[in-house]
Structure 1
């Protein structure tokens, strides 16, 4: 990173950090394969072209641009162009409703809004070709010096608005280089998560560009297409995704031998031990685990699956447990607006996850959401335990257990099962006071745009009705 690059109020780092950290490298080095290769020279030319378009639409250094684009080269090149121009990128998932987008734009006041020129019919495509429409919105500079503004996944309630500086992003990219087991230069990353969210953005796009790792989204978001992407070249391949994507690969019948398949790394929710065992037996590669948050990025990893379900804090990350809650050191609040002391205070980010740190090894075990501990008739029940027991039953694709005055379960099946049979099997695993008072069978459990199961009670109620 250039030592001349600085952060000043109302502006972010300009061209130096993008050129030095993300775009540097041999001209002919392939960055993307879509399936046609895009090398660094072509990527730089595309980014420069986007900078010109943005400037013509009213974007100025220190301003903000809202991106409402699906995963695409248009998204990548606009994002890098905004940063090269000293601006703030507001990332809006293209699957948000017009109402949600309008509320975000009215609050964050970008100078330019970039959207698809016409509706995107992506289907199961993981990467699309899209023409863009650039609309001037305001002449105001960005309200903060953050390089990127993101919305949290919203799996447990309303999304939070989170900002991260360029220095913060660069620090995390360099942190990835120190993690044992990440892809190396000349290898491939089969990229499944959205680049609008932190795992796909930093763990996929930014790290891949910095480290010289070829980014290769599969043609479609299916198990067969992911397998085809792995086998499309002989260079080592790592699959990056979330637990939802494990199911896609698990659905492949008799996958071919893939000697280039190095590992799969998942972020997001905890993966049940039975799921990880079944995956590793099927493909013969490790299922690595990564834990992080939009607010801070990667917090801990276990890329070899050696400590499951525990993780080791990522290099440079300090954690502690206070009253059963895992907290992560962070000098400043990542939230835009007034700081909520229940989420950040005195240099510590409150994850709202229950956790334990082993005093001997330093390994961290995540025990689920802090609010998963409830009292039933004076007896403590961990809803995570109930959820794990339900998820282990034959035919259960996914389950969410919430407390709505009583323990309530929401279950998605992948094969016909009667509710009576499920409850009878569950009775063999759990004491009476731990069992759900009611179980709802749903064709599809609500998920966030990142594929996480939604745990907000009001949303789950609506899904039932």
Structure 2
């Protein structure tokens, strides 16, 4: 198939490709660095990548893709039990890491290659020179990445992502976002996840543009890079929440965001009140997109479309999307009210769960649609509004199907609520009752259950009001900032 990164050989050699802090590589340097490393990876089978937010990780993954070998990004924060499972399941032949990285015991028996781009961009691998060869000739269905899911219902599953999924998703986003080689992306996301790695690193490189990684997210870094010529910002809701909080006292940040061509949020729903605070301070609307490990990207608000808060836009080019009832029948009316499970099909999908034919078969319908487990409604103009996960965010109360997300947005509009999550719990009368978990603005004087119930009932409907309220010092979140609702217990 055609190269995933044509700019490595066809673009301006002196154009900046990657920058992490003070360290950077031009396209010529990246081509040389990844070419040498790829020469040493041919026929290596799968290779693990110790995915720290560094230049070395980006070089390692691009080199593996050029060599035609699947890369398995490893989360450096994984516990030894989880890491042991991933290594046993994926069976990589070696691990690529930055020099000086201390690797945990489960990686001890693997051959290690230290990736060290020097001043000219040429890496030293095991102290030996490797030959630079042509990019491997592999088909579009060949595996590119094996990315492990979060494992909320058991051990993590390895989603095998083919090369066609990378190219189709990144090209579809280029169409939706008018993304070109002139764009400079800034982000501070981890690189073991499809958001930070595929969209945030491989996306700019496929376009022939540049990426500036902050290493660790902070609002000063965002302001510096956007004021310094960056055109796009990728983030997750917790990052945009911090931006929204900082804006009133940081005119430089407001000025920087106003200059951005595109502000993109993903991985979870961005609360409407954060949308509005950012728009009011900067004149720029954050757009949202929707994807997951197994499907990469499915929908997005388009750059030339309406940035409607609370929606994830329309299906991307090449992606088919439908909503399905519990019995599997397709919902045909787009009324903005009827709730169904999102099912998708298209070239953006994964191939299989590694070594799990049972889980792979269960993930697809008989007619080939992938069951996402996400519940949504669709507006008459095709915009998709996600209400949450089928397992944790769909509450069946008093005969109604209620999405946790809209109640969370309503709670966040209350001045006494700093953070909010909503779940359901069994109720003999209602089936399920609505439970709110809030972090109060003032822990010494939190809002009462009645106050919050009235607040929600006034904004939404009486049947959507919380019946129980718990106060917490903080909500449990994962590395991507998603609230871990399974960690919320009623004890």
TM-score past 0.5 threshold: yes
Task: Extract unaligned runs of 5+ from structure 2.
Answer: 104-113, 118-123, 127-140, 326-339, 427-432
Q: Post-superposition shift, 1:227?
A: 1.1
- Counterpart position of 2:328: none
Which range moved further: 319-328 or 300-309?
300-309
* Structure 2 CA distance for partners of 1:381 and 1:302, relative to 1, 3 Å: closer
> What are the Cα deviations for residues 265-309 of structure 1, in whole angstroms up to 9, with x where unaligned?
101222222220111111221211111111111111114553333
Paired residues of 2:187 and 2:200 also in contact (CA < 8 A): yes
Match of 1:366 among 386, 391, 401: 386
Paired residues of 1:395 and 1:417 also in contact (CA < 8 A): no
Paired residues of 1:387 and 1:400 also in contact (CA < 8 A): yes
- Counterpart position of 2:67: 85
Cα distance in 1, alignment partners of residues 36 and 441 from structure 2 = 47
Q: Per the alignment, in what secondary structure is the counterpart of residue 479 of structure 2? A: coil
- Counterpart position of 1:8: none
* Structure 2 CA distance for partners of 1:417 and 1:212, relative to 1, 3 Å: farther
- Counterpart position of 2:320: 318
Cα distance in 1, alignment partners of residues 143 and 251 from structure 2 = 44
Which range moved further: 385-394 or 310-319?
385-394
Paired residues of 1:72 and 1:130 also in contact (CA < 8 A): no
Aligned length: 422
Cα distance in 2, alignment partners of residues 420 and 268 from structure 1 = 29
Q: Per the alignment, in what secondary structure is the counterpart of residue 180 of structure 2? A: coil
* Structure 2 CA distance for partners of 1:395 and 1:93, relative to 1, 3 Å: farther
Which range moved further: 28-37 or 148-157?
148-157
Paired residues of 1:188 and 1:238 also in contact (CA < 8 A): yes
- Counterpart position of 1:71: 53
Matched, 1:428 2:455: yes
- Counterpart position of 1:460: 488
Q: Per the alignment, in what secondary structure is the counterpart of residue 77 of structure 2? A: coil
1:59-208 map, 5 Å: 60-61=42-43, 63-115=45-97, 117-119=100-102, 145-154=142-151, 159-179=156-176, 181-208=177-204
> What are the Cα deviations for residues 373-410 of structure 1, in whole angstroms up to 9, with x where unaligned?
33345555443333233222224332222224354332
Cα distance in 1, alignment partners of residues 152 and 9 from structure 2 = 34
Cα distance in 1, alignment partners of residues 7 and 199 from structure 2 = 14
| TM-score (normalised: structure 1) | 0.81
Q: Post-superposition shift, 1:236?
A: 5.0
> What are the Cα deviations for residues 343-370 of structure 1, in whole angstroms up to 9, with x where unaligned?
2223211111222334x53332323223
Matched, 1:335 2:334: no
* Structure 2 CA distance for partners of 1:275 and 1:23, relative to 1, 3 Å: farther
* Structure 2 CA distance for partners of 1:281 and 1:434, relative to 1, 3 Å: closer
Which range moved further: 419-428 or 250-259?
419-428
Task: Extract unaligned runs of 5+ from structure 1.
Answer: 3-16, 121-128, 136-143
1:347-426 map, 5 Å: 347-358=368-379, 361-371=381-391, 372-376=393-397, 380-405=401-426, 406-416=433-443, 418-421=445-448, 423-426=450-453
Match of 1:248 among 242, 251, 258: 242
Cα distance in 1, alignment partners of residues 153 and 282 from structure 2 = 33
Cα distance in 1, alignment partners of residues 322 and 174 from structure 2 = 24
Cα distance in 1, alignment partners of residues 277 and 16 from structure 2 = 34
* Structure 2 CA distance for partners of 1:382 and 1:85, relative to 1, 3 Å: closer
Which range moved further: 315-324 or 268-277?
268-277
Paired residues of 2:187 and 2:217 also in contact (CA < 8 A): no
* Structure 2 CA distance for partners of 1:260 and 1:175, relative to 1, 3 Å: same
Cα distance in 2, alignment partners of residues 21 and 157 from structure 1 = 40
Match of 2:231 among 231, 237, 242: 237
RMSD over aligned Cα, in angstroms?
3.1
Paired residues of 1:47 and 1:81 also in contact (CA < 8 A): yes
Q: Per the alignment, in what secondary structure is the counterpart of residue 147 of structure 1? A: strand
- Counterpart position of 1:13: none
Cα distance in 2, alignment partners of residues 72 and 165 from structure 1 = 24
> What are the Cα deviations for residues 190-223 of structure 1, in whole angstroms up to 9, with x where unaligned?
1232232112222221120121222112364222
